[in-house]
Structure 1
Amino acid sequence: MAWAVGGTCAFVGLLAVVLGTVTLRTGWVLPTARRHVTRPGLHGLGALFMGTSILLQGLVHLGILAAVSWEARVLGEIGCLFTGLLLIALSHLLPPRRTLEHADPPGA
């Protein structure tokens, strides 16, 4: 049964890493989040951080990666998760870079 937990974590983490990479390279965001995301680059970087944390957790649980001390592992995972969460929150909360004033400046 332990392989189910580790395998699920590894799969979800790998999926988040792939989606983060696609967002960084192309700017494409999942349709459920497309309306809310104003900065796709930050969103992709946040997904990459969160996916890496979850993927590493699953790989350590499966025994594929050598386990380091639990303190280092927990602090690293929490740091990656909070960094990713902060970047995703910023991608939703920051105003878009391009506004109508920049697109069509007055006097042009």
Structure 2
Amino acid sequence: MGWVVGTGAVMGLLVITLGVAALRTGWVLPVSRRHVTRPRLYGAGALVLGASLLLPGLSALRLLPGVSEETRLLGGTGLLLAGLLLLLVSQLSPLHRDRRSTL
């Protein structure tokens, strides 16, 4: 079980690092650059997604105050969905796009 908690924590920290880089500098991974049109929104989504990956590891190590298991499950799922929604919205085309270029 320890490796599962450790893997989630490492992945969460990695995604949080990518989110901070996107928020501070607008840098996005080269794989995602073609798709991301709003890097700041992408960074916020990465922060929320990384937090949802990191929180179960913190609660397994008993570093968070005691809350019920249902609250942790629903909170983590809500953070995960909110992060994914922000990442999705960051890849949508901007609203102020020139309409003549699409014809």
CA offsets 1:3-62 (integer angstroms, 9 cap, x no match): 101000000001111110110000000001011000001100000000001101122223
Q: How many residues align?
A: 99
Who is 1:4 aligned against?
3
Who is 1:32 aligned against?
31
Unaligned runs of 5+ in 1: 102-108
What is the alpha-carbon distance in structure 2 between the residues aligned to residue 34 and residue 23 of structure 1? 11
1:65, distance to aligned residue in structure 2 (A): 3.0
TM-score, with length taken from structure 2: 0.86
* Deviating 4+ runs (over 4 angstroms): none
What is the alpha-carbon distance in structure 2 between the residues aligned to residue 26 and residue 69 of structure 1? 38
Who is 1:95 aligned against?
94
Corresponding position: 1:85 with 2:84: yes
Identity %: 53
Calculate the aligned-residue CA RMSD, in Å.
1.8
Unaligned runs of 5+ in 2: none
TM-score, with length taken from structure 1: 0.83
